[in-house]
Amino acid sequence: MMRSDDVLLLCDAISKAYESGKTQTRVLKQVNLVFKTGSINLIYGKSGSGKTTLLNILAGLDKASQGNVYYLGKRYGSMNDSEMAKLRGENFGFVFQAYHLIPRINIKENILCPSYINGIQYDKEYYQFLIKILGIEKLIRKMPYELSGGEQQRVAIARAMLLKPKIVFADEPTGNLDSKSTKVVTELFQKLNEKYKTTFIIVTHEENLIEGCEQVIRLRDGEIIIE
């Protein structure tokens, strides 16, 4: 197996199958990937190709049927649920396809959630920077249902970034955004990548979402396509 100081996350021969009755669907087939510290990585493929499944396994939110994932050399399978939750809480940020804002608390409380849940102080100046750059300053007293899909997505992005995670896992983060907001978000990702060496693993079906990124991974029917 490959070992190097700048390898942050690695997956080794990941397969995933879903069983339902007698039929088995193989969603991922022997996927090997390496993600370097401070890199921007796109996972690109058609709907149903296994992108979300792969992202959830890399983020430790779902388990592979076979194969291993390692964060800084530590194998996910060697950790219990609470160790895994701690690793995620301290190091990972998530932007989900369906935002997952908490409905009964306001926008500011939603953004600050990772700080409350993990008992980690947040940087107040940086919070102000995030809401300003994402254009959601005027929304922070509102409730999630009062926001459009695109606004909720920008809130979810602020929440994912709040604790300056080592890795941001983002599932189609710009899927509901117009081209202007898409540009704001991709430029923010690039800025945070430069400033904090944040590693990004971004699922997208826009092949050219970010120019000049470290790695573009193409998935087709659960397999990596090497060109």
Interface residues for Mg ion in 45-64 (CB under 5 A)? 51-52
State which residue, 52 or 174, has the beta carbon closest to ligand ADP: 52
Q: Which pair of tokens denotes residue 137? A: 């300053």
> Interface residues with ligand ADP (CB under 6 A)?
18, 25, 27, 45, 47-53
Residue 214 φ then ψ, to 5°: -60, -40
State which residue, 52 or 153, has the beta carbon closest to Mg ion: 52
Query: Closest separation between CB of residue 27 and Mg ion, Å?
Result: 11
Query: Closest separation between CB of residue 55 and ligand ADP, Å?
Result: 8
DSSP H helical segments within the chain, as ranges?
51-58, 81-91, 107-118, 124-133, 149-161, 179-196
State which residue, 39 or 53, has the beta carbon closest to ligand ADP: 53
List 201's β-bridge partners, or say none. Answer: 41, 169
Query: Closest separation between CB of residue 55 and Mg ion, Å?
Result: 8
d(CA 222, CA 31): 8
List 115's β-bridge partners, or say none. Answer: none
State which residue, 4 or 47, has the beta carbon closest to ligand ADP: 47
Tell me if 41 contacts Mg ion by CB under 5 A. Answer: no
Query: Closest separation between CB of residue 47 and ligand ADP, Å?
Result: 4
Q: Which of 202, 201, 181, 176 is nearest to 133 (CA)?
A: 181
d(CA 51, CA 47): 8
**Residue 153 binding target from ligand ADP, Mg ion, none, CB below 5 to 8 Å by type:** none
Q: List contacts with Mg ion (CB under 5 A).
A: 51-52
